[in-house]
Structure 1
Amino acid sequence: MFNMISLLINHIPKIVNKTTKLDKQTISKCYGSLPRLTPQEVTRILRSNEFTKEFNGPNSIKYYDTNQLSSNNPIEDTRSEARCKLTNGHLLGIFDGHGGGACAQVISKRLPAYIAGCLLPTDSLKKILGVQKHPAKLRDHLLEFYNDNTDFVSNISKLYNESFLSFLKELAEKSGESDFQMEKALQNSFLSLDRDLSDEALRKLSRSDKARTLSVAMSGCVAVVSHIDGPHLHVAGAGDCRAVLGVYAENEGWSAKMMTVEHNSDNREEVERIWSEHPAIEKQTVIRMERLLGQLAPLRAFGDFRYKWNKEIMSNTVVPYYGESAIPPNYYTPPYLTAKPDVVYHRLTPKDKFLILATDGLWDFISPLEAVRLVGEHMSGKVTLSPLTLSRNNIKLSEINQMLLQRTKGLKKKPLDENAATHLLRNALGGTEYGIDHSKISQFLTLSDKIVRMFRDDITITVVYMDSEFLRHCPS
């Protein structure tokens, strides 16, 4: 036991590094002999949370694949996908929780509705509020969710509905303001929901409801959300989740276009932004050990109000539940943290083949370019998993010949998984320069709950495929 603990301690600096890549020898040294899973057992685990949604008709999105693999128990990552009913856009988001999964769960279910509300003109909002009197039905009036199988307990759900109704009324009263700007709308939705989390946690509620709202406020989550409307792609990110666009050019091959800005201590502009918002005397304490106040790695996040509330609120509201240690050291001039996202815009072209959204659990193992190449290879190989079908009756022989050539080429890259998110998971955990190492994946999947978090994080991935033909005929 002593030798195992010593080995673990020796490897901790390596484990917490953002570029961690542990091989099976390291895992074996730290944990000894692990049970060996069969290939079928590995596949069952990797595919247990996968989901695919296909879209028909004219649309810039053909379909998306998504999947999750937990490290924490229960998982702290969440995801959501929805269609805006009153506009033409689709929302797809990834949310990485910390300090528990409460905040990420709440944000993933509520943020799309706040965004959908911000996208509507004030006249439409007033009309909706005049017709739809029941707060609980407002979200369903605005959005169609996919693969959403959970809901809040009744008391909390009622509280959230009341907050959302107040938010929509607030939006509707802002008539006559400047022209619509997508960046401001997305930022407003993030900040307004974060504000509501704070207000809800500070309300006078029953003890059980107070405990729930405080658990959301004291935990936190980072987020990346994409809004795709025809050829228009906007990505809003707060924290260190990433969105990467897979771009293919005939003469250049695959390239990765970053659609997010990471908010952590590696981002010099972000560090300087935080320094500028606090007295110079705090420069040595506001960012310590590459973390906010020496504690929090992401420098923007939802929740985490222990870095936002003033000391009076912390003393009166938080300390009675969480103790004095809930107040961070060197806590002088809050707020230190914001949920305001950076928003990146890109006009989609036929060269833009797919968008990968993922939590940092994936990026700890593979780079954005590696991920793009893996999904690109998966696109080529996936055609071999289903019978050859002709796209139309009057197809030319030359086109059929081209399809057969592509199919022959794809046979060399035939993947094990039809779902691209699962394909990324398998390669992240078991990929080597010689191919997939089954024993390596087996070891990652059989680490005990006590130590697995030291070797890998929760991983959540969504891959969104674009319709090149639709984009080709979009007006410029």
Structure 2
Amino acid sequence: MLEWFMKMVMSCWRPAKRHSQGQDGTDRQDPLLWGKDLCTHAVGEFSYAVVQANAILEDMSQVETGSFGTFVGVYDGHGGPEAARCVNEYLYSSVQENVAEEGGMSCDVLRNAFKETEDKFYDIVQKAWLVKPQLAAVGSCCLTGVVCSSKLYIANAGDSRAVLGSYSRDTGTVIARQISKEHNASIEEVRNDLYAKHEDDPQIVVLKHGVWRVKGLIQVSRSIGDFYLKKAEFNRPPLIARFRLPEPLKRPVMSAEPECSVITLSPQDEFVIFATDGLWEHLSNKEAVDIVYSHPRAGIARRLIKAALQEAAKKREMRYSDLKRIERGIRRHFHDDITVVVVYLDPKLLNKGSGTADHISSKCPIDMPKSDRPRG
């Protein structure tokens, strides 16, 4: 079986190409990897990159500058791209509206924006139920960060991760600090929380093939979407059988509510890495922070992804140069879609206040390749 699989993979490899980067940000040596090397935001610079593994890219991301500061979003879709695309389209505008209503940024602003985006996707799923019931099993992890004056607001639902990179001038060391909580059943604390909330359900978390899953179906316990595990109306035909529970859904077993924290930034806080779980599967927090700190800013997000891909290839006892030639879809057997945004923080700009720059969307948009954009 393994021999047959490797033959199939070999048939999909392309001949080696010389390294170059296209005008659209794609890496000509690896056409599934693209990004922008360095852009500006309200209080510094940022670099982002994406590598596609699935047949259809399920990740989305954005960096926006508003009157309150800089907004960063990384959305890791699963089951399909629709939920991540919905989040990418509606979450930021919802944050803007809530900031205007509340008179400033807060965790409540972010929680309300998550709820409103969840409601927006619910409407989409409900309207499409009879013609596209599979949308009920589509969801997206959602990690956001907002730099507002000298504060960093982090809101997360799912297993993407934000890591703060700081330099201690007292000790001369680089510090990696994880600043988001993950919601994955592989984490004992998450399992214990699920057991506590569902004492009457011994099957709330099930170990299948060595992986802990909520109801034996999904690893994450929080997300936007995944209504088949939140609302009984969607856990029935015409949804395909493998997503339907053997007993009626009494109450939601997943949540869209993010965990939110607020960090007061200091001059030693130099950058934040926002990334989907595909990066952290292969790099530790400290390894990622050390890479960012020890290399030039331009192209740093792309460098992080390449480091992760090198580790993924090593785990399969293959060369990185061979991994890069594998087609999307087949590539998913080796690594996940990975999205990385590295946000550098300029202490001088932080001290000036929130800023009102509006050049991010027009000069440095985060776009997927034209060939992968939704049609219609």
Q: Give the corresponding residue for 1:202.
A: 126
Tell me whether 1:44 sits opposite 2:43 in the alignment: no
- Shift of residue 275, structure 1, vs aligned partner: 2.0
- The number of equivalent residue pairs is 337
Richer in strand (by share): 2
Please give the residue correspondences for 1:24-423 in structure 2 after superposition, counting only pairs within 5 Å.
Answer: 31=9, 35=14, 37-40=16-19, 43-46=27-30, 49-52=34-37, 54-55=39-40, 59=42, 61-84=43-66, 87-121=67-101, 182-203=106-127, 211=131, 216-250=135-169, 251-278=171-198, 280-283=199-202, 285-289=203-207, 290-310=212-232, 312-315=233-236, 319-320=237-238, 322-379=239-296, 418-423=298-303
Unaligned runs of 5+ in 2: 22-26, 313-317, 354-376
CA shift digits 1:22-76 (9 cap, x unpaired): xxxxxx79956855524416952458621256448xx5x2111111110002211
CA shift digits 1:288-307 (9 cap, x unpaired): 01101001011111111110
**Does structure 2 conserve the Cα–Cα contact (< 8 Å) formed by 1:197 and 1:216?**
no
- Shift of residue 92, structure 1, vs aligned partner: 0.8
Q: For residue 272 of structure 1, give the secondary structure of its aligned residue in structure 2.
A: helix
Separation of aligned partners in 1, 2:122 and 2:308: 37
Unaligned runs of 5+ in 1: 9-27, 125-179, 383-417, 433-438
Q: For residue 195 of structure 1, give the secondary structure of its aligned residue in structure 2.
A: helix
The structure-2 alpha-carbon separation of the partners of 1:120 and 1:261, relative to structure 1 and needing over 3 Å to count, comes to same
Q: For residue 119 of structure 1, give the secondary structure of its aligned residue in structure 2.
A: helix
The structure-2 alpha-carbon separation of the partners of 1:373 and 1:313, relative to structure 1 and needing over 3 Å to count, comes to closer
Separation of aligned partners in 1, 2:295 and 2:156: 27
**Does structure 1 conserve the Cα–Cα contact (< 8 Å) formed by 2:228 and 2:234?**
no
What TM-score does the superposition give when structure 1 sets the normalisation length? 0.64
Q: Give the corresponding residue for 1:4.
A: 3
Q: Would you identify which runs of 4 or more consecutive aligned residues in structure 1 move more than 4 Å?
A: 28-36, 45-48, 471-474
**Structure of larger gyration radius:** 1
Greater RCO, 1 or 2 (C-alpha within 8 Å, sep 6+): 2
CA RMSD of aligned residues (A): 2.9
**Does structure 1 conserve the Cα–Cα contact (< 8 Å) formed by 2:136 and 2:234?**
no
Q: For residue 180 of structure 2, give the secondary structure of its aligned residue in structure 1.
A: coil
Separation of aligned partners in 2, 1:468 and 1:304: 40
Q: For residue 3 of structure 2, give the secondary structure of its aligned residue in structure 1.
A: helix
Q: For residue 92 of structure 2, give the secondary structure of its aligned residue in structure 1.
A: helix
Q: Give the corresponding residue for 1:458.
A: 337
Richer in helix (by share): 1
**Does structure 1 conserve the Cα–Cα contact (< 8 Å) formed by 2:162 and 2:178?**
yes
